[in-house]
Homo-oligomer: A and B are copies of this chain.
Amino acid sequence: MPSETAAKVDIGALASLAGYHLRRASTAFAVDFARALHGTQIRQVPFAILSVVAANPGISQGAVGRALGIQRANMVTLVIELVDRDLVARSASNDDRRLVALALTAAGTATLAACLALIRAHEEAMLGPLSPLERRQLSALLGKIAERDFHTV
């Protein structure tokens, strides 16, 4: 009987946990993000890096990681990917030769803009059921939660 579709199962204690709903909503966004940006080959985390580098030309690799909650060790592979795709350029800092300075290439700037347009449409679709007031409320509430010491993007 194919008419059994979605049986609406009771999820128990889970229903009262904010962490669970946060996880489901976040994953839903991630899935739709991947769908919306499939053509660009840009994923959520690399996009976040592009956004931070664009806002801070010459920023060090480590500083980008700290801003996004990405560990040093994991930044390496992510940056290499962006450099290999010619979206980000690396240069040695003169002041402190331990630092690697990052900046967007022309292609990186163009890609960021193109992605942003796709992401705006994706967000609009995902937030569809929310009024402008509710969207502001959501942002404010999430901000209060995540405004701490966290690691990890």
Cβ contact within 8 Å between B6 and A20:
no
A interface size (C-beta, 8 A): 64
Give the CA-CA distance A143 to B9 in the complex, in Å. 16
Main secondary structure of the interface of A (DSSP, over half): helix
Cβ contact within 8 Å between A126 and B18:
yes
**Residues of chain B within 8 A of A112, CB atoms compared:** 13
| Per-position 1/0 for A25-54, Cβ under 8 A of B | 111111101000000000010001001101
Using a CB–CB distance below 8 Å, which chain A residues touch chain B?
6-7, 9-14, 17-31, 33, 44, 48, 51-52, 54-56, 59, 63-64, 66-69, 112, 116, 119, 122-123, 126-127, 129-130, 134-135, 137-139, 141-148, 150-153
